[in-house]
């Protein structure tokens, strides 16, 4: 289902100033984790990244960061980047641009980041323009692992990374309850494979 794992070109055309991929001339990837931080998932991910000397960018839900401030601090202390994923994981399809922006700004009071990723990977055109006008850099993705899907196994998640990753890929994973059981098996293998293939790990700035 390549339509899901990699965004169609028309999406990139509609949102030309969003970040989909970074420097295809350099053998580097940019791991991202959405929806955390939560104690059931984030500590394991941080420890696993440390084992492989990898850095990542965490797109956090503001409400989770308020509930677990020690995890927000720990992500920063370990040298990872932080991005905004709204305060309440708002769907762009169900809210006005102004409600959407207000929720992002509420998250920013906690996260203090100009990086923004829309929940569910969807943002309306007016929302997109308003978010960008307010100084946020909209970060999308080049590879969605679908680690959240009940239909996929840990091996499927790993294979999605192997099949679609290329130079400059922004790879989307999740530190969430839906994903963590698969990530406990898949994440170490993903990191080992990326290192074996010669990829460096970058953070989004």
User: Which residue out of 35, 85, 108, 174 is catalytically annotated?
Assistant: 174
Structure-block tokens of residue 152? 């996929």
User: Which residue out of 25, 34, 80, 185 is catalytically annotated?
Assistant: 34
Count of Cβ atoms closer than 10 Å to residue 4 Cβ: 11
Note if 174 is an active site residue.
Answer: yes
What is the distance between the alpha carbons of residues 154 and 178, in angstroms, rounded to a whole number? 12
**DSSP per residue, 14-44:** HSTTSB-B--TTS-EEEEEEES---TTTHHH
Question: What phi and psi, each to the nearest 5 degrees, are found at residue 88?
Answer: -120, 20
Count of Cβ atoms closer than 10 Å to residue 80 Cβ: 19
What is the distance between the alpha carbons of residues 120 and 14, in angstroms, rounded to a whole number? 17
Active site residues: 34, 174
């Amino acid at each position: 289902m390549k339509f899901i794992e990699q965004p169609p070109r028309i999406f990139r055309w509609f949102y030309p100033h969003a970040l989909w991929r970074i420097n295809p001339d350099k053998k580097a990837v940019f791991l991202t984790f959405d929806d955390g931080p939560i104690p059931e998932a984030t500590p394991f991910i941080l420890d696993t990244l440390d084992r492989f000397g990898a850095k990542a960018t965490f797109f956090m839900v503001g409400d989770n960061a308020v509930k677990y401030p020690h995890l927000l601090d720990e992500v920063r202390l370990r040298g990872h980047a932080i991005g905004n994923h709204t305060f309440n994981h708002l769907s762009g399809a169900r809210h006005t641009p102004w409600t959407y922006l207000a929720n992002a700004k509420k998250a920013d009071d906690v996260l203090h980041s100009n990086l923004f990723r829309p929940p569910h990977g969807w943002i309306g055109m007016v929302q997109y323009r308003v978010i960008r006008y307010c100084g946020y850099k909209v970060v999308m993705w080049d590879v969605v692992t679908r680690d959240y899907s009940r239909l996929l196994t840990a091996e499927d998640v790993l294979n999605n990374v192997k099949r679609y990753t290329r130079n400059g890929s922004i790879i989307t994973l999740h530190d969430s309850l839906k994903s963590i059981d698969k990530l406990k098996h898949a994440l170490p293998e993903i990191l080992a494979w990326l290192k074996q293939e010669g990829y460096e790990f970058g953070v989004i700035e």
